[in-house]
Amino acid sequence: MSWTVGRVKLTKIVEIASTGGTRFILPQATTDEVQKLPWLVPVYASAEGRLKLSVQSWIIETPTRKIIVDTCIGNNKQGRSVPVWNNLDKPFLNDLAAAGYPADSIDTVLCTHLHVDHVGWNTKLVDGQWVPTFPNARYIFGKDEYDYWATHSHQRDEHKAVFEDSVQPIVAQGLADLVASDGRISDEISLIPTPGHSPGHMSVLIRSDGEEALLTGDVAHHPCQMARLEWSSTADYDPVQSARTRRDLFSRFADTPTLVFGGHFDPGRIVRDGDAFKMVT
């Protein structure tokens, strides 16, 4: 569950893993269509054409920092549009500690965007109040992303609930840093603007000792979207922009040694495949 990029260590912490059940996110990815992409099997899909997806966080440990990227759904949350995401009781914090990263050791929380399954563990419920889960961390949100949801979250009940229980308590405690989507986090880590899935979505670039990794966030929910760039998620804010972003980002890193980590899938490298791309492990 861990990978190294120069002097940087990346570790995966899974909250929920599933095979299949993706028709609401990627309705184009029917089993018949997925079976036309045999390179997805067995890492990214089953032989029957069912997609493998996880809700997960990535820990980036540099020589000086311990950063968690995206914080899943969280326990005890309410008002989520996916029914099974309400009132979760998952051992996420225990799993984090078992991997060597107890919550109080994390110094930075970095959210690629502010959707429900990327901000949930920003907070935890204590005596009826939502409090920061990572008490010693600064929380980094994209300024464009934050400004959008601060203005528009009231337009949908789920977005309102997510903003109120998982984002606003961090701001109220003075723990949030609003950054440009092309900003730099540390010597090793910088941000790349990748809008489309959300207005201010950001991807994360890691460079260390001549090696490179890319955390894509939700530019693609699944590697099948590398082969089918036009397959935009039903959760995308701007489906046309998200398809354009996929082509631009994957073109930049295709056929390079860069290790690519998905928001919901395991890492690999992107290679060109005709007019599109595929992942190799």
CA 46 to chain centre: 22
Tokens found for residue 143? 């300024």
Q: How far apart are CA 272 and CA 229, in angstroms?
A: 12
Containing domain of residue 268, as a range?
2-280
**Does residue 21 surpass a pLDDT of 90?**
no
Average pLDDT over residues 62-66: 97
How confident is the model at residue 188, as a pLDDT?
97
Task: Tell me the CATH number at 76.
Answer: 3.60.15.10
How confident is the model at residue 187, as a pLDDT?
95
Average pLDDT over residues 158-165: 96
Q: How far apart are CA 281 and CA 279, in angstroms?
A: 7
pLDDT band for position 24 (cuts 50, 70, 90): confident
How much is the mean pLDDT over the chain?
97
Tens digit of each residue's pLDDT (9 = 90 or more) over 227-240:
999 999 999 999 99
Tens digit of each residue's pLDDT (9 = 90 or more) over 123-152:
999 999 999 999 999 999 999 999 999 999
Facing residues of 176 across strands? 139
- Select from 115, 118, 116 the least CA-distant residue to 69: 118
Backbone angles phi, psi at 138, to 5 degrees: -90, 140
**Does residue 9 surpass a pLDDT of 80?**
yes
Average pLDDT over residues 266-280: 97
Is 277 within 8 Å of 257 (Cβ atoms)?
no
Q: Global pTM?
A: 0.96
Domains of the chain: total: 1
How confident is the model at residue 155, as a pLDDT?
86
**Does residue 22 surpass a pLDDT of 80?**
no
Q: How far is CA 17 from CA 51, 216, 256, 266, in A?
A: 11, 18, 29, 11
pLDDT band for position 156 (cuts 50, 70, 90): confident
